Chain A
């Protein structure tokens, strides 16, 4: 019988070998494909929420913008956003069925603890059987500034979007947009609740998931004259260069004319006007002339240096979360369209921007002509508090020489002192600014803009504000009346901090 028993042993071993090969297939070779089957949703959900996901902190290192806490349910951790809507557009949401957005998405490796820098930590957690802990992200957001921005925006009946940047570092101190949303709704562990919230947010015509401060585009109106004026200075014109001052500008190749705001005639109808006066009083006629004089190449070149792209979404200024920079079309698109050059020079028609883009313009002027890349995250700390990654400040470009930056600053100071932006004055602080009132579409009330920085001598903050559709003043609104007071409140908060 011995021979049979030996053969039997081999046969039984062969059976187990088949199973062994099969479990190799299931557990290693095809593991990912099998595990990612949609029918495995529950296990994937549990696995995802088993990580003690890292926190997102404000620039003080203590204010918590997003964190995880133990949950009594089957899912071990629950994501929490203590400030609800306030930082939603920067933290983004963390939702199992609908994924992640903003910092929750771009820094997911660190937050979820899968980044290679965290390997020693993760390994220790594994050995000790502790839940995997993610790293903490420290942002540049300043709670004082962000809260002041939210307060000022709430006081204005219309929808407001605001960007505040430290011009010397590019640190984003505040980024606020109305309407926002509560990311806690999407982090709920009740799938029906999450789906309902998600459907409602996506059906909302106001698109609360998108930030109007950085994700959408609007005509910048007269605030774009900062770019046109910069181009003039960089192309050899001075603040005191004089320009003809007709009551309105005949647009070449058409019967149409370009008029000043309210059809007025700048500087009391004098025959000439200086660049500084034109900026102070926001004269459309003069800037139309300057645009035609400089031509689309010079304007486009200047816009590129400030971070504007030829088409939305390409060659962006780097940022820690997805955004859309301003748009100034390629020069060749203006061929045979001279009127469009004049109109674009005053920030209408083909030009588009958002508060973050315009804050970058203000910041570059404030920083002696050097544009710093906007920065949202300064460092990453592992669960024991050790810093495992830091992010340096980077210069993006030099749109202005230091001299021309000083000249732009002086002109912007006079806008606030005696021009269209007097509502932004702060006692004891020299504020530099530029108003904008941007037409968009027949019958729609204009967007009110204000781009500013302070103190002019040693700038600490650059602020751009847009009040959509004129806000509470509707068709009567101007940037100086509606947007400038909001910018002032944000500047005050930034300077007091």
Chain B
């Protein structure tokens, strides 16, 4: 796995500028149109938010040129467009939330810059396997600690320290992926050994199944302790995928799927809220239940998207405010309503571009750790987007996670910018020593 010739020097400047300008135009444009749609005039906040976008995106471009010159020129702009669409939608839903989101975008961009500046070489993360893993686990479990943990909307995900509330699991996810990349890279060969077979499946020695069972147990623990179905699914999915990519053993996928099925079924048997989720998923539009709590939420999302139709009502012209949690969990439905099938498809495509680029970075990386890290981070974005978008569109039962880069929320936005920073770092390779 060597770097292709084209990416050895600095990446061409023109495409990077062109993509960034495009992202800037789309983001500010969507926000201005939302303003006109809402009030029929240029938003009063135009100068402030336009400067934040312009300053932030140009700043992001400059940091990339300075510290990751060979980075893929489209990676940052693709995420930036998602952020812009999300911001326009949030602004359209609530001026107050938009002000907060603008702050988070700024903080997120700073986190992105810090990531690129501090992590000069992704491989340096490989040295702290267990430190990072432990830290990730701590962050995951922090909300369960009595006194600082908060239960909001039925899930114990929040930590409140003084006036500052945040969801530590968001950044915890990224740390866990780094840990898994490092851990699996070290144990790859060990885990690849097959000693027994069942039919076409070649099974690894039982003692090496330990990690799979451990991850499965941890996922179930999250489900039990935090009642967070979405996160539980996500961690287990990422773990199984990374394990399979690292070892090439399909048996891990099969075992993973079986364990997932068992876990899901057990969860369904044991927990009322899981049963309710499934029932809501199946019967959201049933005339008998459509007005019920939970059913109504999901039904409103369907109504919003259906009302939007092919081209949508136009930004600021629909009624996505009717959908509960429209700025967070249900932002995809709000986009579907106001930007139509064209808009929601565009969002899906942007995620595909982002994930595709991430996987390509993984294939081109020079070492196993970088490959697994790129694949893990990309899979995290892809699965999280699928879990929430699939939930909102009733492909799968709804579990509340944010839509990466798009949804309102500081913890989510900041950790996704850190994730983006890592992907940009991986696509560029180690930063060059500055020549005087």
Interface residues of A (CB under 8 A from B): 1-6, 8-9, 12-13, 15-16, 18-20, 22-24, 26-28, 30-35, 37-40, 42-43, 46-47, 50, 126, 129-130
Q: How many A-B residue pairs have CB under 8 A?
A: 139
User: Across the interface, do A34 and B303 meet the contact criterion of CB distance under 8 Å?
Assistant: yes
**Shortest Cβ distance from B362 into A: residue:** A5
Rounded to whole Å, the gap between the CB of A15 and the closest CB of chain B is: 5
**Shortest Cβ distance from A50 into B: residue:** B317
Q: How far is the CA of A394 from the CA of B83 in the complex (A)?
A: 62
User: Across the interface, do A47 and B307 meet the contact criterion of CB distance under 8 Å?
Assistant: yes
B309 at the interface (CB under 8 A from A): yes
The residue from A2, A15, A43 contacting B303, defined by CB atoms under 8 A apart: A43
* B residues in contact with A23, CB < 8 Å: 305, 336, 341, 344-345, 348, 393
User: Across the interface, do A22 and B341 meet the contact criterion of CB distance under 8 Å?
Assistant: no
B377 at the interface (CB under 8 A from A): no
Q: A23-B345, A23-B393, A47-B307 are in contact. Are A8 and B241 (CB under 8 A)?
A: yes
Specify which of A4, A30, A31, A42 lies most central, judged by the most chain B CB atoms within 10 Å of its CB. Answer: A4
* A residues in contact with B33, CB < 8 Å: 129
Q: How far is the CA of A43 from the CA of B336 in the complex (A)?
A: 14
Q: A4-B245, A22-B395, A24-B341 are in contact. Are A35 and B306 (CB under 8 A)?
A: yes
User: Across the interface, do B379 and A37 meet the contact criterion of CB distance under 8 Å?
Assistant: no
* A residues in contact with B244, CB < 8 Å: 4
The residue from A19, A40, A129 contacting B395, defined by CB atoms under 8 A apart: A19
Q: A12-B382, A129-B37 are in contact. Are A34 and B393 (CB under 8 A)?
A: no
Q: A5-B362, A34-B303, A129-B317 are in contact. Are A20 and B348 (CB under 8 A)?
A: yes
Specify which of B244, B299, B307, B344 lies most central, judged by the most chain A CB atoms within 10 Å of its CB. Answer: B307
**Shortest Cβ distance from B375 into A: residue:** A5
What does DSSP make chain B's interface, helix, strand, loop or mixed?
Answer: helix
* A residues in contact with B37, CB < 8 Å: 129
Q: A12-B379, A16-B348 are in contact. Are A34 and B306 (CB under 8 A)?
A: yes
Q: Which of B157-216 contact A (CB under 8 A)?
A: none
Q: How far is the CA of A5 from the CA of B373 in the complex (A)?
A: 12
User: Across the interface, do A43 and B304 meet the contact criterion of CB distance under 8 Å?
Assistant: yes
* B residues in contact with A28, CB < 8 Å: 309-310, 341
Q: A8-B379, A16-B348, A39-B303 are in contact. Are A1 and B310 (CB under 8 A)?
A: no
User: Across the interface, do B307 and A40 meet the contact criterion of CB distance under 8 Å?
Assistant: yes
Q: How far is the CA of A23 from the CA of B299 in the complex (A)?
A: 14
Q: What would 7 more interface pairs be, CB under 8 Å, given A3-B248, A27-B340, A43-B303?
A: A5-B359, A15-B382, A19-B395, A23-B348, A31-B307, A47-B307, A50-B317
The residue from B308, B359, B368, B382 contacting A27, defined by CB atoms under 8 A apart: B308
User: Across the interface, do B309 and A1 meet the contact criterion of CB distance under 8 Å?
Assistant: no
Rounded to whole Å, the gap between the CB of B154 and the closest CB of chain A is: 23
Q: How far is the CA of A466 from the CA of B3 in the complex (A)?
A: 97
Specify which of A2, A27, A43 lies most central, judged by the most chain B CB atoms within 10 Å of its CB. Answer: A27
Rounded to whole Å, the gap between the CB of A69 and the closest CB of chain B is: 16
**Shortest Cβ distance from B386 into A: residue:** A15
A-B contact pairs, 19 of them (CB 8 A): A1-B368, A12-B355, A15-B390, A16-B352, A16-B386, A20-B348, A23-B305, A24-B341, A26-B305, A27-B308, A28-B309, A31-B305, A31-B309, A32-B306, A37-B290, A38-B287, A42-B319, A126-B314, A129-B33
Rounded to whole Å, the gap between the CB of A123 and the closest CB of chain B is: 12
* A residues in contact with B340, CB < 8 Å: 27
Q: How far is the CA of A416 from the CA of B241 in the complex (A)?
A: 100
**Shortest Cβ distance from B345 into A: residue:** A20
**Shortest Cβ distance from A132 into B: residue:** B317
Q: How far is the CA of A3 from the CA of B245 in the complex (A)?
A: 8
